[in-house]
């Protein structure tokens, strides 16, 4: 469970916090409202594109007084995200498109249970997966719906859709609250890379529970998008955005948690709760 301190570093593994600076303390975690910094360059979409209103209806925003992570609605009462997004109290926002506007399609629900994988490793980021139970079921409609879990593991070169509200440019070591958020949900189409390429790009860091996504020669990768967010391939949730090196750095794709390895844990956890 990630509750320790630190700032956003070049290795995009953790949303960790310090007592931080005055700027980073502007947002109170107790307010539990969606708060993001203003940004005058919202139309500057680099390497990805604006998804379009409610075109990714399974995408959720996790909030802890500020937009923290992305996630995926996998049933009317359960969200799948990354374990490093853990906070003891979370608000789940569904039906979001523009994160700074009230558009009328939003559903705001609190988490009643937050369950990181019991073998999540904070050091290696292995088993970076977490389930969140909503305190009331989501209303399924054209703007809020679930995404299917995979029937099998993904294969090399499969095209996937990654989405989130995270940075549209490389922001280096900026404090989290200073980072450039896009108002509108951003999408990226990118293929799954081969295991050999993934291991070569990150020697001794990739476990059997991870895979790489990106167009490395163009600097497109998932680390530009929300941690915990969806990697959907052929309409199945194959990945949870986990970590990566500097955003958009050639030869350093984004790394995702391989959902297919956790189907039994997901089913068992939902049935027990």
Residue 222: closest CA among 148, 102, 128:
128
**What is the set of active-site residues?**
84, 128, 227
Distances (CA, A) of 110 to 71, 94, 100: 14, 11, 19
Task: Count the alpha carbons within 13 Å of 216 in the hemisphere toward its beta carbon.
Answer: 19
188 φ/ψ angles, rounded to the nearest 5 degrees: -140, 130
The pairing of strands 91-94 and 130-134 is unpaired
Q: Annotate the chain with three-state secondary structure.
A: CCCCCCCCCCCCCCCCCCCCCCHHHCCCCCCCCCCCCCCCCCCCCCCCEECCCCCCCCEEEEECCCEEEEEEEEECCEEEECHHHCCCCCEEEECCCECCCCCCCCEEEEEEEEEECCCCCCCCCCCCCEEEEECCCCCCCCCCCCCECCCCCCCCCCEEEEEECCCCCCCCCCCHHHCCCCCECEEEEEEECCHHHHHHHCCCCCCCCEEEEEEHHHCEEHHHCCCCCEEEECCEEEEEEEECCCCCCCCCCEEEEEHHHHHHHHHHHHHHC
């Amino acid at each position: 469970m990630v509750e320790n301190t630190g700032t956003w570093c070049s290795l995009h593994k953790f949303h960790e916090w310090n007592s931080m600076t005055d700027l980073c303390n502007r947002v109170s975690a107790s307010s539990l409202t969606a708060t993001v910094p203003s940004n005058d360059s919202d139309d500057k979409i680099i390497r990805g594109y604006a998804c379009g209103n409610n075109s990714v209806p399974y995408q959720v925003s996790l909030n802890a007084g500020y937009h923290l992570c992305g996630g995926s609605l996998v049933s009317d009462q359960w969200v799948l995200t990354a374990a490093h997004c853990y906070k003891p109290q979370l608000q789940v926002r569904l039906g979001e498109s523009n994160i700074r506007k009230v558009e009328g399609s939003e559903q705001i629900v609190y988490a009643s249970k937050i369950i990181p994988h019991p073998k999540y490793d904070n050091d290696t980021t292995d088993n970076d997966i977490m389930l969140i139970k909503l305190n009331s079921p989501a209303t399924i409609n054209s703007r809020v719906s679930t995404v299917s879990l995979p029937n099998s593991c993904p294969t090399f070169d499969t095209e996937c859709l990654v989405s989130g509200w995270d940075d549209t440019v490389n922001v280096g070591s900026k404090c989290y609250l200073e980072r450039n958020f896009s108002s509108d949900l951003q999408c990226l189409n990118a293929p799954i890379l081969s295991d050999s390429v993934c291991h070569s790009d990150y020697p001794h860091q990739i476990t059997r529970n991870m895979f790489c996504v990106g167009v490395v020669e163009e600097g497109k990768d998932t680390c530009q998008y929300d941690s915990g967010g969806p990697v959907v391939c052929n309409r199945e949730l194959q990945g949870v955005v986990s970590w990566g090196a500097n955003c958009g750095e050639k030869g350093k794709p984004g790394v995702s948690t391989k959902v297919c390895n956790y189907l039994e844990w997901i089913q068992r956890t939902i049935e027990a709760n």
